[in-house]
Amino acid sequence: MSSERDVVEEWRDISRRAAVATGYRSRSRPIALPPARLAVGTAAALVLVVVVGGLVLRGRPTTISPAGPVVASAEDTSFRLDLTTPQATYGPEDAIEPIATMTYLGPRATETIFHAAYPIGFRIEEVGGQWLMGGGMDTPCLRTELAKGESAVLPFAKAGSPDDPTQGFDRAWYEDPVLRLPAGTWRIIAYLNVSLGDCAGEPHELTVENVVKVVIGNASPATATPDATLSADGERALEIVRKYEDALATDHPEAAWPLLSPWSRTTVGSSATFADAERRARGGETSTVQVADPSRDPVLLETAVLGERAADLAATADSDRTYVVSVSRPGSDAGAASTVNLVVAPLLGGEWRIWLDTTSATYGSWPYPEGCAAFGLSPRRCEAVVDAAASNVGFDRSTATATSLMAEPGCGFDDPSSDLINICTRSMSFVAGVRFESDADINVRSRLFRVAGAGGARPAQRGLLGSAVCRRGAGRLCDAAAAADRRGCRGGA
Amino acid sequence: MTAPDPSPDDAFQRAAEELWTPVYRFALAMTNDLAEADDVAQEAFVRLWGRRASIDWSEPILGWLLVTARRVALDRFRRLAHALRFGSPSPLPSGLDAATIERFVDLRTELALLTPAERTAILLSAVEGWSADEIGEALGITAGAVRAAASRGRAKLAGGGR
């Protein structure tokens, strides 16, 4: 057994070594491109990047599959250029989001590259047609340091001149920062043009291209025909997840709720909690989610990975037809998209349903204070709400080991087995639930409501009513505001 | 004459150079895993990069990074998402020698007796010299809870987890 001092000193040395060995690597660091309107605004001053000799390498052939992504790469002795477009086929209204990545391959540990406004530019060409976005950029001589193995990511941005009508794209198209293309076959080209030493130094130029099709009809990721390699069950699993995500993205939780398994509904607690928590989790974000193909990877179906839902899946679902579907959602925090892994399976002898990856203790909870924004509370008001919650239940906040904000608790008489969303009708509006955890293993919940008509100008403490205390393991859970809905305590925690 | 404020890019670069070690150490205390800590710290800085234009660089940025790192570390979906993308656990930091990794394997067993809050309270106060208030801010708990966690952690270390 080591002494505390030994442990600390050992950890001090190891953590220092590990920190030195790692360090921030800007592998996924995006190089911000200006909005398209800036490129258009300066269109008259733009000049196409001129190829000034050096070896221009054409990339390896584009990889195309019906579902995408489309990927192409090229490299020379010092750089690699990758271009990825998420899908091979789009509809005319779909956002096409190519991303180019340049990586310095060496031989030096670090290298200074010299380039125009950006080291990578983009072009769009209609295959067999006239339409063209010629790219181009300002040509100052800028320098960027890159470490060996370091990559820079550049999302697509429009640049070029809208003045030539033969090139098809008008000013409005350039001013829309989102890349959408009319029906046809399109070549998306990324080109790297940098030099080493100085602006007229050793040139390095690489070009890669992705070819995508734009078709009339619905080719969006949420509705495209599943990959032909998917089994019928896989297609069914994909369909139900897309339906679920579409419902939530369009703010129709009442259409998503019936798709949940009985276990998921019971774990969530009530349909009102579900509707409220999912809305808050999205924060008004309606961007399209990315739904991965269903997987039956044994690793993903292990009990340890499935979490609390594993036991119910084993008891109530057809294990031979159980799929994990990964969904990447845009987060309400702009910097933090999240990935959730839904499990989809048919109930024994019944319908296909979704098992959420959650627990009754964590569903609909946000850590305080980071979660304040999800409740539309400013930091100051949020603090007041938490203070009021603590005061309501006589909880000493200094003993809290964790504080969470909780979604709408429901009306107290919800039947989770019902397919209907139960909207609570109260004389008070819900502000937030607050849960305190302390070292004494005490889980204290307080729910705050604002008296109808109190108005937003009133201090948070005024008009906040209702509280309840839950002691984990104490055999009773009193989880609703008595002043709000007169709910009593129920057994269990 | 005062020097012009650094650009957000420069300010970020400086933050990445100066604050990597404390953020990494915080992540290591939270996760008790060398590779996870690297992932968590990287993600915190990536998010800082994404917000560099809107952040007030005249204010200390460490607190923001630590809170972000905590959120990342607690993201229960992150590990699985990583496994889905790459099909394997995070690789160990490539620049770390085998002997150090072996030493950590031994040490982490002892530290696994402690909760993340207990590890952070003990290790970061001793190694980085942070106060209970500072650690509490990073962990989202009160200074009193930090002191209590440190006390519990010390008792566990002294008693081998009993």
CB contact under 8 A, B157 and A2: yes
* Cα–Cα distance measured from residue A10 to residue A8, given in angstroms and rounded to the nearest whole number: 5
CA distance A69 to chain B (A): 14
Looking at the DSSP bridge assignments, the partners of residue A115 are: A142, A194
Q: DSSP letter for A373, please.
A: G
- CB contact, 8 Å: A440 with chain B? no
Residues of B in contact with A28 (CB under 8 A): 46
Closest Cα to residue A243, out of A340, A339, A353? A353
Q: Report the pLDDT averaged over residues B56-82.
A: 77
Could you tell me where the beta strands, DSSP code E, fall in A276-377?
A: 290-291, 323-329, 338-346, 352-355, 365-367
- CB contact, 8 Å: B141 with chain A? yes
- pLDDT in tens for each of the 493 residues of chain A? 567 888 999 999 999 988 888 876 543 333 333 333 323 333 332 322 222 222 222 333 333 334 557 777 888 888 888 888 888 788 777 888 888 888 888 888 888 888 877 788 888 988 766 788 877 666 667 778 788 777 777 778 887 777 666 677 877 788 777 888 887 778 899 988 888 887 778 888 888 888 888 776 544 443 333 344 568 888 888 888 888 887 787 778 888 898 999 999 999 988 888 988 888 887 766 556 777 888 887 767 877 778 889 889 999 998 889 998 888 765 544 334 466 789 999 988 778 999 998 888 788 888 888 888 888 888 888 888 888 888 888 888 888 888 889 888 877 767 777 777 766 666 567 788 888 888 776 677 777 766 443 333 333 333 333 333 333 332 222 333 333 333 333 332 2
CB contact under 8 A, B141 and A7: no
CA nearest B150 in A: which residue?
Answer: A4
pTM of the model: 0.41
Q: Best interface-test mutation with A: which of B30, B75, B104, B141 has the largest number of A CBs within 10 A?
A: B141
Rounded to whole angstroms, the maximal C-alpha distance in chain A is 80
- CB contact, 8 Å: B49 with chain A? yes
B21-53 pLDDT, tens per residue? 999 999 999 988 888 888 889 888 888 888 888
Question: What is the predicted ipTM?
Answer: 0.90
- CB contact, 8 Å: A368 with chain B? yes
- CB contact, 8 Å: B151 with chain A? no
Is the separation of the CB atoms in A357 and A307 below 8 Å? yes
Label each residue of B34-71 as H, E or C.
Answer: HHHHHHHHHHHHHHHHHCCCCCCCCCCCHHHHHHHHHH
What's the CA angle centered on B153, arms B147 and B156, to 5 degrees?
145
CB contact under 8 A, A341 and B81: yes
Q: Best interface-test mutation with B: which of A2, A5, A14, A15 has the largest number of B CBs within 10 A?
A: A15
- Whole-Å CA distances, A345 to A196, A290, A436, B129: 56, 20, 35, 51
DSSP H helices, A271-423, are 271-282, 303-306, 309-316, 379-393
Partner residue facing A398 (CB), from B126, B144, B157: B144
- CB contact, 8 Å: B99 with chain A? no
Residues of A in contact with B78 (CB under 8 A): 339
CB contact under 8 A, A18 and B93: yes
**pLDDT value for B92:** 62
* Cα–Cα distance measured from residue B52 to residue B49, given in angstroms and rounded to the nearest whole number: 5
3-state DSSP assignment of residue A136: coil
- CB contact, 8 Å: B111 with chain A? yes
CA distance A183 to chain B (A): 32
Residues of A in contact with B122 (CB under 8 A): 4, 8
CA nearest A21 in B: which residue?
Answer: B95
CA nearest A304 in B: which residue?
Answer: B80
Specify the higher pLDDT residue, A43 or B102. B102
Is the separation of the CB atoms in A219 and A94 below 8 Å? yes
- CB contact, 8 Å: B117 with chain A? yes
- CB contact, 8 Å: B11 with chain A? no
